[in-house]
Homo-oligomer: A and B are copies of this chain.
């Protein structure tokens, strides 16, 4: 998430009751979780395993629970519970203020755009020109819809990330990481009925221009779908994954988190993708492998009884 204007790290330190170490003169321009950090960002880390990754990431301001080496020009904000400090900042800069109108006063729509009945448009939503937003759609706060976009009935844009911090030592077992990111739907995208597109935890979930989703497709937080992709019905994609341009996912395909599917890949129906896949190829199976390999495998499986017979006949 970007701040509206830079915020002095000194103010951040006071607000989070942190001990400020290193460059105390900087200004933070945004806040992100580690998968999405940019220069000028605040990030948090609470486990020694990830200290190095966070301190050496693009982020300039690291909320941390232990004093450690500080790279030149960066600052540490040392607190007892970095996760809680992060949440406090997110809730301060992007508080959830539920709109009680079906069309928020702070939302805007472009020329020629039609919003049909029973649809909810949240705060600060921006919708471009010549869109058709059909009935019973929900577009939550801060989401951005391009031009010539069609959204079919019952679809939800900007639901919260499914992202929890495990708290084994507390009454609350899983504590939600507040989503402060957005969903960005580019031009000429068409979304089927009953889809759900989660907002980024801290960054953006993006559906690239010209991409078409069938019904009941689920897209996780911070995931980027490229341009001119086709996602058939009941496809599900987990968080922080990258689907490059011109990818085709047939019905009921499932894709795991934080991986990449290369440009032009085609996944046959019901495939499951646990790891990154190279572009330009066809895949099938759960776990998905190259389709031609899978087809051979299916033939080999059918030959097991023959194998058994052969070996039994051998002297």
Contact = CB atoms under 8 A, between A and B. Distances in A.
Interface residues of A, number: 78
A41 interface: no
A35 interface: no
B118 A136 contact: yes
B192 A194 contact: no
Interface in A280-308: 286-287, 297-298, 300-305, 307-308
Interface string A200-224: 0000000000101011101010000
Copies in the complex: 3
A270 B114 CA distance: 38
A39 interface: no
A184 interface: no
A272 B274 CA distance: 17
A49 interface: no
A269 B233 CA distance: 17
Tell which of A99, A188, A210, A270 has the most Cβ of chain B within 10 Å: A270
A212 B164 contact: yes
Given A176-B190, A193-B196, A301-B297, A135 B159 contact: no
Interface stretch (A54-62, A82-90, A149-157): A149-157
Contacts of A132: 96, 98
A244 interface: no
A249 to B, nearest CB: 12
B232 A153 contact: no
